[in-house]
Structure 1
Amino acid sequence: MERKLTAILAADVARYSALMEADEAATFERLRSDRKELFEPEIKKHHGRIFKVMGDGLLAEFGSVVDAVECAVTLQRGMAERNARVGEGIEVRIGINLGEVIVEGSDRYGDGVNIAARLQELADPGGICVSGKVSKEIEKKLPIRLEPMGEKRVKNITEPVACYRVNLEAFPTQIDRPLPNSDTRSERTSIAVLPFDNMSGDPEQEYFSDGITEDIITDLSKISGLQVVARNTVFTYKDKPILALQAAAELGVKFLLEGSVRKAGSRIRVTGQLIDGKNGSHVWADRYDRELTDIFAIQDEITQAIVNQLKVKLLPEEQKAIQAAPPTENVEAYAFYLRGRQFSHMCSKSYVQMARRMFTRAAELDPGYARAYSGIADCDSILHSWHHVEVSIDGILAMSAKALSLDPKLAEAHASRGLALQFGGRHQEAAAEFDQALSLDPNLYEANYFYARFFNAQGDFEQAAKYFERAAEIRSDDYRSPVLLTAVYRSLGREEDRIRAARLGLERAEHELNRHPENSGPAQLGALALAHLGERDRAKEWAARAIAIDPDDLLALYNIACTYSQLGETDMAIDVLEKVLPHASAEQILWFSKDSDLNPLRSHTRFQKLFERSAPL
Structure 2
Amino acid sequence: MKRQLAAVLAADICDYSRLMGEDSEAMLRALRRLRAEVFGPNIASHHGRIVKSMGDGWIVLFSSAVDAVSSAMRVQDRLAEGAHPDEPEIIMRVGVHMGDVVEEEDDVFGDGVNVAARLEQASAPGSIVVSEAVYGSLDGTLRPSFDDGGAWELKNIERPVRVWVRGEIPEATTASRTNSDGLKIAVVPVATADDRHEVQELAHAITGDVTMYLDATMWMSAAVTQSKKDAKYVLEAFLRSSGDRLRLDVQLIDANNKVWLKTKFDGKLANIFDWQDLVSEEMSGQALRTIFDAEQARLDSTAKTELTASDHALQAALALELCDPQSLERTLDHTVSALEIEPDRADAISIGLIAFQSCASVGYSDLCDQYRKHAEVWLKAFDRLNAHDPISQMSVAFAARLEGSMSASDNRRFLEKVLRTSSLDYVTLAFCGWGFAFLGLPEQALDCLRRALRLGRHTPWRLIILGGLGQAYLQLGQFEKAIDVCGEGLAISTKYTALYRQTAAAYAQLGDMEKAQAAIAEVLWQMPDDTISAVRMRSGYQDNPATRLYFDGLRMAGLPE
Select the structure with the greater relative contact order (CA < 8 A; seq sep ≥ 6).
2
Scaled by the length of structure 2, what TM-score is found?
A: 0.47
